[in-house]
Copies of this chain bind each other. A is one copy, B any other.
């Protein structure tokens, strides 16, 4: 059985300009790994309608799921919902269910439900709303595309509400052996071990600590027994 696949699309001039450091990618990667969905690709694109449309089309045709972050707020630079609607061939307008949610939220807060705030009710036809327990304005799922906010705590809350609805696979497990040797010293036998276990993926990640070379050897796979077997051999080689 092969695990379902996923891509992430980050919409954000503020990431590409270096002003903000993205943290949603790392969070989503960890959550998907845990439930057995394989994150295969991430793209970061600018706040440009045509770029978002093209990326959504490319990724949604290729992977089981696409997760987007960013660009669903009330300001003029929030253009994700319209771009996703176009990419998926859906019409978009102020949807009654989202309008009602937001109206109630601003009524409770004693704030005007003005034109800008109503923009956040623009949801493509046929999309299912994604709950936003932090600030109400919903994300949405249309086809295999899950559209979420960029603010990290809202993104995380939306991920928590979407993932339990998806069918995962076998969780991707990993074990790490840290060795105080450079990569060049372990590469030969490590590569041979990797060839011996074609169903596992083995990677080596060098580091320098106090001027000395070391390497983290990581074995990944979905079969815990096989992983243990490889780990025993790896430990015999280098520990």
Using a CB–CB cutoff of 8 Å, the interface residues on chain A facing chain B are 10, 13-23, 25-33, 38-47, 51, 73-77, 106, 111, 114-117, 119-120, 134-135, 151, 153, 172, 174, 182-188, 190-191, 194-195, 201-208, 218, 220
Instruction: Give chain B residues whose Cβ lies under 8 Å from the Cβ of A39.
Output: 16-18
Consensus secondary structure, chain A interface: mixed
A15 and B30 CA atoms in complex are apart in Å by 9
Inter-chain CA distance A74–B188, complex, in Å, is 9
Are A18 and B14 also in contact (CB < 8 A) when A187-B116, A194-B76 are? no
Looking at the assembled complex, report how far the CB atom of A138 sits from the nearest CB atom of chain B, in whole angstroms: 15
**Measured between alpha carbons, how far is A179 from B189 in the docked complex, in Å?**
58
Q: Is the Cβ of A74 less than 8 Å from the Cβ of B187?
A: yes
- Contact, CB under 8 Å: B42 / A203: no
Query: Which residues does chain B contribute within 8 Å of A29, judged by CB atoms?
Result: 15-18
Residue of B nearest to A184 (CB): B117
Contact B116 A188 (CB under 8 A): yes
The contact of A74 among B31, B47, B183, by CB within 8 Å, is B183
**Residue contact B203 to A153, C-beta cutoff 8 Å:** no
B201 near A13 with CB under 8 A, answer yes
- Chain B minimum-CB-distance residue to A217: B75
Residues of B within 8 A of A111 (CB): 182, 184-185
> Within the assembled complex, what's the spacing in Å between the Cα atoms of A41 and B76?
21
